[in-house]
Chain A
Amino acid sequence: MDNQQADNNKPPRVISGNFGGNRVESRVLEEQIQEAVSRGQRSLEIQAYGQHGIGGRLWRAGAEAIQIKISGHPGQRVGSMGFPNTFIEVLGPASDDVGWLNAGAEIVVHGNAGNGCANAMAQGKISIAGNIGARGMTMTKHNPRFAPPELWVLGSAGDYFGEFMAGGIAVICGHEAQSADNVLGYRPFVGMVGGKVFFRGPHAGYSQTDAKLMPIADEDWNWLTENLKAFLQRIDRTELLKTFCDKAKWQLLVARSAQEKVSSPMRSMPSFRTDVWEKELGQGGLIGDLTHLDRTPIPLITNSFLRRFVPVWENRKYAAPCEATCPTGIPVQERWRLIREGRVDEAVDLALGYTPFPASVCGYLCPNLCMQSCTRQISALAPVDVTQLGQASLKAKLPDFPPESDKKIAVIGGGPAGISVAWQLRQFGHQVTIYEVAKGLGGKITRQIPESRIPQKVITEEMRRIEKVIPRINLQQPLGAEDIAQLKEDFNFVVIATGAQKPRRLPIPGSERSVTASDFLEAAKANKTRVGKNVVIIGAGNVGCDAAAEAHRLGAHKITLLDIQEPASFGKERQVAEAVGAEFRWPVFTQEITETGVKLTTGEELPADTVIISIGDVPDLEFIPEAVVTENGFVKVSDNYQTSDEQIFAIGDVVRPGLLTEAIGSGRIVARTICDILDGKRPAIAKRAMIDRQRVTLEYFDPRITEFADLDHCGSQCLSCGACRDCGICVAVCPQAAISRKGLENNNYEYIVDENLCIGCGFCAGACPCGVWDLVENTPID
């Protein structure tokens, strides 16, 4: 290109920005300048009239230097996009954005420059012989392929100097600064990421997060002094060099590296807490004066006193359902435990502490409320068979009885209730005397219950054991009201246990043709009665069922039980009656008993050779003293069976009709009440609450077991509700190994928790087969 062979000695060409009194458009002036350069012109004098961007983009000169001298008033962006080898000299002040996007030009301004000086400059040098406006040296870059750009300012920088500065070197000499107290302007270097700035004179702060002051190293100082000289030459102010060479006046500011910016200059919160917060408020902060509780942070999972929950080994705190529902109060699960431990004899003997009839009642006659309530039932598992244990109790060994005290108690009635209270009182060591109107003890058990339900030898055996224990038994002793008064004189207490002897009759014609169930059963048992072919039993309860069984034994062909509602009979009695083919009819209402049968209100007549009335018995209360209040034909008693006469108690069917076990249980309660009174204590029948069955775990048991081979099998399948089986599952399941078994005296043991290990997860309570472990809230802290 010929322009490259241009002659540098050519006289400068003058281009005026004013043509015939009119301002030449920036576009036209630019064309003229570019054309001159391409024609080889290397020295230009521009008489500026506010044109934009003068002196930039002169690439057509290639490696040759171009001198541009600008007089007049250049417009914005002098030397913008300037190329290397372009040398621009503005003879007066310059407007905004001097050297904008400068890519190599050297620009000298012999006056002040406006805002945005050197904005986005990447190469080249700008020298300003005065002050600059706002946002100087902003967005500058340093491309590693080239030398860094430089901005030299004789005076001071305007506000927001060096924003987002990303490279290059600025030198602010601070000579005759616009504001003598601040040569860097307001808020300089926000967002600065690269480059450095030498400045001479005071400043009023800068962005500490972005920039930092550095000591001026020798190398820097050498560079500065050397280049200062050149700068002052460019602006014709060399006389200032000596003044400027006082190193003490200069400071160097550089961008912080990205890594340095990460470290925040903020005070740490712990330091604030200690040095500001607590210093003002006092030790312990906001509430240090109100509480001395430790408030330091704790983890989510804690132990010891910081656990929210604590496991408790509540062995035997609650009664098993079997025990809780047994009116006699026999701890059935305890007996199975003894069986499991191989202590069969003890398991058998234990019952005699609670009942004189463990074999007859538990083994045969009781509907076994214990089994009905067995926890196994809630999961449809077969209840543990307690009758096996009951029947085995025939061989139970009598405990040693204490010697008799001088406290005397009279028991009127030798049936199950009377025997029970006497038996218990004897165990407590008191003198007991039984008065019985019949020839022998035992009441209903011995006289009325058919042998189909219980072998005679079981009864005989148990009665013999009873007679051995109770020394004073007066048989065939009918008592009147006056006798009771005498008994009150002679004895400390009197217990009425006369039962319900008087059968209820039907107020219908022909009633006299019927026989009462109790008379019938008693006679049948003694083999002193007969029945016809057709037997109608009015009243289909359990006694009616017993009568049906006996009628069958005595030869009846057709047995019909009548009831006015769905019969209340249940259990073994019902099963036996059904087994002998008895027909149950209900609801039917009897109108009359004729010679040939039973006439119903419907007009139907059932043929009957024998009619048995079995609609219940009521007590005979004729002998009861007036002081003893009765209600609806029964003696009225308190919760512990005391009558309105404090000296007299009443138990069994004379109080309310019930099961044998209830009669026996009431005897136990009265015996203990009397003992308490004799001991001068307030009578309290302390009964343990029944365990919540939900606590017991059934999943350890095989649901397919429906029958139990023997006592050992029964014992193994008992859930042991509320009583520890010593199985050790808790020890195994504890994730913290916090639970251990501790042996105690007499083969006893307990399970204990190491609170320093326990986290209160409750696994022990969840896994315990017996529901012994519970998880309770820890003691509140405050």
Chain B
Amino acid sequence: MEPERPIAPSTLSVKDLPWQILWDLDKCTLCGKCTAVCPVNAIELGVFRKRILEPPTDITQETVTDFRSYFGIRQKTDPAYRCVGCAMCTMVCPNDAIVPCRTDESDKLKFHVDQGGQPRRRGGRRNVAGGVLDRLKFIRISMLTDPALDAGRHEFELRTLLGRVLPPEENLKFLSANGWIPPVREIYPLIIGGMSFGALSPSMWEGLQMGVAYLNEEMGMPVRICTGEGGCPPRLLRSRFLKYVILQIASGYFGWDEIIHAIPEMKEDPCAIEIKYGQGAKPGDGGLLMWYKVNKLIAAIRGVPTGVSLPSPPTHQTKYSIEESVAKMIQSMYMAWGFRVPVYPKISGTSTALAVLNNLTRNPFAAGLAIDGEDGGTGAAYNVSMNHMGHPIASNIRDSYLTLVEVGMQNQLPLLAGGGIGKNGNLAANAAALIMLGASGVQIGKYVMQAAAGCLGSESDRCNICNIGLCPKGITSQDPRLYRRLDAEQVAQRLVDLYLSFDTELKKIVAPLGRSTSLPIGMSDALGIDDPNVAERLKIKYVV
């Protein structure tokens, strides 16, 4: 800022910002790449004036004073152009002359990101590192007590069931009474959670779908991916790949007329229908795809005109009670595919999850329950919703599972856990822990963005600008100038890599437990933690 100008309450210095650009005059070659690539224009070429004073060694001589100016990279301090720490500048710098660094203290910007009375909104995840999932240990190591299993050599049955699994006698009763039993799918327990076409760029979406198809058709892994709310491209609806897809219906109902129109032409049924009632990252809040993101492509897929903002309200508009919500929606969605496709609701992690579960147990159509914990990610939400709203997934899943055990239905209603799985990179360990706490499968999102597309987000509030369409990696942008940075084929390849490595890691976990014939769902005797309170809460072993 100009030192001669008056300051305002929101006048900030570089020191006050969360990310500070460290720039090296000696190394910089002034190539312009950093300013060209910066997604938020946080840096610019600056002209700096420098005073050169040359005092004489002879006091009788005058001191020479001179001014020079030089060019360099200047960081803007206007909150509207704050550095988001993505470090794309570092990535393009040929001389390693520039790098953003996280401030060493709590930043002052957080008190000023509400200009105009508009609270901060962002994408990404809760800015809280750590979590209980990483602390759970697998303590039941079978060496001699059970057949010792070799993760690399033995065959493992790692598939899980999605759908209402009725006990055999009830199945028979059902069949004779109704001529129908609930459909059940045998799928891979690591599911790609709902991320819409719109929230994700075309490259990202196609890459994920292609990778899933590859895993199914080349690797024989029945991996499933949820569309999120934003419709499904017509070609996918009419292809055999649809069977790898879980179609999501949420409060905005975008793209559903296109899906309905496609039903007569479908070669395959979709894997399942997910009814989204809530999202872990922003529980109880809706979404809004801003008009400027609704380009021709998005509009065509969602079945709307271009340039119109698309609101997904926090709640479904025509449901007034839990009974009605569950019964009405599940019934309708079953009917659409002739009762051949499992339908399950997804809710955000909440202390009221058991009420929902309780309701589902009494509905023979309910194919499962997905719970999305507070560590889930999102493309856009209010900061306060992301950081402060929601319920941790571990105890939510545990309580739900133990409730099912109590009523003897733990093998009947699959629970899917989501939110923060692999948030610190420990995907298989987190997934296995949740499975042993009682989940039949887990849903991941952010991990896929990071592993398959190089998302830069972190719990240090790095980047997190998914909401403004400027994703520097092209993951969440609808601008071809950005999303073409991402190669769908490479995303697909990375997805395959991550699934294969997950598969190995999961085996490395279940083999020492002596499990190979089925997923260790609810095998909580294998879990321990060095915190007696957590142990007591989750009903697992306390180990030190």
Question: Contact: B45 with A733, CB < 8 Å?
Answer: yes
Complex CA distance for A302 and B32, rounded to whole angstroms? 12
Within 8 A of A (CB), among B276-328: 295-297, 300-301
Partner of B480, one of A270, A293, A378, A735: A293
Partner of A761, one of B32, B74, B301: B32
In the complex, the chain A residue whose C-beta lies closest to that of B88 is A300
Question: Contact: B233 with A270, CB < 8 Å?
Answer: no
Residues of A within 8 A of B26 (CB): none
Within 8 A of B (CB), among A114-158: none
Q: Is B531 an interface residue (CB 8 A)?
A: no
Complex CA distance for A733 and B65, rounded to whole angstroms? 26
Complex CA distance for A282 and B233, rounded to whole angstroms? 12
Within 8 A of B (CB), among A630-664: none
Residues of A within 8 A of B5 (CB): 378
In the complex, the chain A residue whose C-beta lies closest to that of B34 is A761
Using an 8 Å CB-CB cutoff, how does the interface string of B462-502 with A read, 1 for contact, 0 for none? 00000000000000001111111111111011001000000
Question: Contact: A759 with B210, CB < 8 Å?
Answer: no
Complex CA distance for A697 and B297, rounded to whole angstroms? 43
Question: Contact: A763 with B45, CB < 8 Å?
Answer: yes
Within 8 A of A (CB), among B187-243: 202-203, 205-206, 209-210, 213-214, 217-219, 233-236, 239-241
Q: A761-B45, A766-B47 are in contact. Are A300 and B203 (CB under 8 A)?
A: no
Q: Is B92 an interface residue (CB 8 A)?
A: yes
CB distance from B331 to the nearest CB of A (A): 31
Residues of B within 8 A of A380 (CB): 4
Q: Is B362 an interface residue (CB 8 A)?
A: no
Since A164-B153, A269-B496 are in contact, a sample of 16 more A-B pairs with Cβ atoms closer than 8 Å, ordered by chain A residue number, is A267-B214, A272-B214, A280-B239, A286-B206, A297-B486, A301-B33, A378-B4, A700-B49, A733-B71, A735-B30, A759-B33, A761-B35, A762-B36, A780-B479, A781-B479, A782-B297
Using an 8 Å CB-CB cutoff, how does the interface string of A270-290 with B read, 1 for contact, 0 for none? 101100110011100111111
Partner of B233, one of A160, A286, A782: A286
Using an 8 Å CB-CB cutoff, how does the interface string of A742-782 with B read, 1 for contact, 0 for none? 00000000000000000111110111000000000010111
Question: Contact: A700 with B69, CB < 8 Å?
Answer: yes
Residues of A within 8 A of B218 (CB): 266-267, 272
Q: Is A263 an interface residue (CB 8 A)?
A: no
Using an 8 Å CB-CB cutoff, how does the interface string of B154-181 with A read, 1 for contact, 0 for none? 0100000000000000000000000000
Q: Is A309 an interface residue (CB 8 A)?
A: yes
Q: A295-B484, A300-B485, A697-B47 are in contact. Are A763 and B30 (CB under 8 A)?
A: yes
Within 8 A of B (CB), among A136-190: 160, 163-164, 187, 190
The winner among A269, A272, A273 for most chain B CB atoms within 10 A is: A269
* Interface bin, chain B: 35 or more
In the complex, the chain B residue whose C-beta lies closest to that of A297 is B487
Question: Contact: A269 with B4, CB < 8 Å?
Answer: no
Partner of A276, one of B37, B44, B71, B213: B213
Complex CA distance for A704 and B240, rounded to whole angstroms? 76
Q: Is B91 an interface residue (CB 8 A)?
A: yes
Q: Is A703 an interface residue (CB 8 A)?
A: yes
Q: Is B67 an interface residue (CB 8 A)?
A: yes
Question: Contact: B71 with A767, CB < 8 Å?
Answer: yes
Complex CA distance for A277 and B214, rounded to whole angstroms? 9
Q: A272-B214, A291-B296, A378-B2 are in contact. Are A302 and B481 (CB under 8 A)?
A: yes
10 A-B pairs with C-beta separation under 8 A: A281-B235, A282-B235, A286-B235, A293-B480, A379-B4, A702-B67, A759-B32, A761-B36, A762-B44, A767-B47
Question: Contact: A699 with B48, CB < 8 Å?
Answer: yes
CB distance from B270 to the nearest CB of A (A): 15
Q: Is B46 an interface residue (CB 8 A)?
A: yes
Question: Contact: B300 with A290, CB < 8 Å?
Answer: yes
Residues of B within 8 A of A277 (CB): 210, 213
Question: Contact: B71 with A300, CB < 8 Å?
Answer: no
Using an 8 Å CB-CB cutoff, how does the interface string of B34-55 with A read, 1 for contact, 0 for none? 0111000100111111000000
Q: Is A452 an interface residue (CB 8 A)?
A: no
CB distance from A691 to the nearest CB of B (A): 16
In the complex, the chain B residue whose C-beta lies closest to that of A693 is B2
Q: A187-B155, A378-B5, A733-B71 are in contact. Are A759 and B36 (CB under 8 A)?
A: yes
Partner of A295, one of B48, B155, B480: B480
CB distance from A684 to the nearest CB of B (A): 31
Question: Contact: A781 with B480, CB < 8 Å?
Answer: yes
How many residues of chain A are within 8 Å of chain B by beta carbon?
64
B residues at A contact (CB < 8 Å): 2, 4-5, 30-33, 35-37, 41, 44-49, 65, 67, 69, 71, 74, 88, 91-92, 152-153, 155, 202-203, 205-206, 209-210, 213-214, 217-219, 233-236, 239-241, 295-297, 300-301, 478-490, 492-493, 496
Complex CA distance for A302 and B484, rounded to whole angstroms? 11
Question: Contact: A269 with B214, CB < 8 Å?
Answer: yes
Complex CA distance for A765 and B41, rounded to whole angstroms? 13
In the complex, the chain B residue whose C-beta lies closest to that of A267 is B218
Complex CA distance for A765 and B47, rounded to whole angstroms? 11
CB distance from B179 to the nearest CB of A (A): 33
The 5 A-B pairs at the shortest CB distance, nearest first, are namely A761-B32, A766-B45, A699-B49, A761-B36, A782-B295
Complex CA distance for A761 and B89, rounded to whole angstroms? 12
Q: Is A306 an interface residue (CB 8 A)?
A: yes
Complex CA distance for A164 and B480, rounded to whole angstroms? 50
Q: A266-B218, A285-B210, A287-B297 are in contact. Are A699 and B47 (CB under 8 A)?
A: yes
Q: A269-B492, A277-B210, A286-B236 are in contact. Are A763 and B32 (CB under 8 A)?
A: yes
Question: Contact: A269 with B32, CB < 8 Å?
Answer: no
Q: Is A203 an interface residue (CB 8 A)?
A: no
Complex CA distance for A267 and B362, rounded to whole angstroms? 46
Question: Contact: A280 with B4, CB < 8 Å?
Answer: no
Complex CA distance for A641 and B301, rounded to whole angstroms? 56
Q: Is A736 an interface residue (CB 8 A)?
A: yes
Residues of B within 8 A of A291 (CB): 202, 296-297
CB distance from B486 to the nearest CB of A (A): 7
Residues of B within 8 A of A765 (CB): 44-45
Question: Contact: A297 with B485, CB < 8 Å?
Answer: yes
Residues of B within 8 A of A270 (CB): 489
Residues of A within 8 A of B297 (CB): 287, 290-291, 782
Complex CA distance for A576 and B297, rounded to whole angstroms? 72
Q: Is A191 an interface residue (CB 8 A)?
A: yes
In the complex, the chain A residue whose C-beta lies closest to that of B37 is A300
Residues of B within 8 A of A285 (CB): 206, 210, 235, 488
Residues of B within 8 A of A110 (CB): none
Question: Contact: A760 with B296, CB < 8 Å?
Answer: no
Q: Is A5 an interface residue (CB 8 A)?
A: no
Complex CA distance for A211 and B160, rounded to whole angstroms? 31
Complex CA distance for A160 and B153, rounded to whole angstroms? 9
Q: Is A73 an interface residue (CB 8 A)?
A: no
Q: Is A709 an interface residue (CB 8 A)?
A: no
Within 8 A of B (CB), among A665-718: 697-700, 702-704
Residues of A within 8 A of B2 (CB): 378-379
Residues of A within 8 A of B45 (CB): 733, 761-763, 765-767
CB distance from A755 to the nearest CB of B (A): 13
CB distance from B294 to the nearest CB of A (A): 10
Complex CA distance for A89 and B2, rounded to whole angstroms? 99
Question: Contact: A288 with B235, CB < 8 Å?
Answer: yes
Q: A163-B153, A288-B235, A308-B481 are in contact. Are A273 and B36 (CB under 8 A)?
A: no
CB distance from B433 to the nearest CB of A (A): 29
Using an 8 Å CB-CB cutoff, how does the interface string of A490-524 with B read, 1 for contact, 0 for none? 00000000000000000000000000000000000
Complex CA distance for A280 and B301, rounded to whole angstroms? 19
Residues of B within 8 A of A727 (CB): none
Complex CA distance for A79 and B202, rounded to whole angstroms? 66
The winner among A294, A299, A300 for most chain B CB atoms within 10 A is: A300
Question: Contact: A301 with B233, CB < 8 Å?
Answer: no
Q: Is A258 an interface residue (CB 8 A)?
A: no
Complex CA distance for A173 and B47, rounded to whole angstroms? 85
The winner among B88, B205, B492 for most chain A CB atoms within 10 A is: B492
Q: Is A568 an interface residue (CB 8 A)?
A: no
